[in-house]
Amino acid sequence: MTLTNRNKRIESAMRMAVRQRNYRRVRDRALTRLAQAYPETYKELLELEKVSDETTGAKWVDIDGNSSLVVVARSGRSTENIVIETDGDFYEDEGDDE
């Protein structure tokens, strides 16, 4: 692969990443607005999706494929990594209990 080909592929991947980030940002805002407008429907659909994931064996994992969550805790000048075993359930949305 020539250097110019490689550079073109990198630039293309960067543009695609920016487009995907912008799409996700807009999509997440729209989902938040829908969840606020229809909280009961949102909670019902969320529960259905969780059951579907459990039934099919799908898990929420991090980019390395781990099903544990690492939380960085900072206190003053010290930093501590805390590993939380989550069974892949990091993204649980508790919602507003109003």
Q: Tens digit of pLDDT per residue, the chain (98 long)? A: 687 898 999 999 999 999 999 999 999 999 999 999 999 999 999 888 888 887 887 766 666 666 655 555 666 666 665 555 555 444 444 444 44
Residue 69 shares a structural domain with residue 48: no
Residues 53 and 82 in one domain: no
pTM over 0.85: no
Residues 37 and 11 both lie in one domain? yes
Q: Which domain holds residue 74?
A: 59-89
Q: How many structural domains comprise the chain?
A: 2
Q: Are residues 4 and 40 in the same domain?
A: yes
User: Quick one: 47 and 77 in the same domain?
Assistant: no
Distance CA 97, CA 40 (A): 10
48 and 80 together in one domain: no
Specify if 15 maps to a domain. yes
Cα-Cα end-to-end distance for the chain = 58
What is the spatial distance between Cα 71 and Cα 84, in angstroms, rounded to a whole number? 7
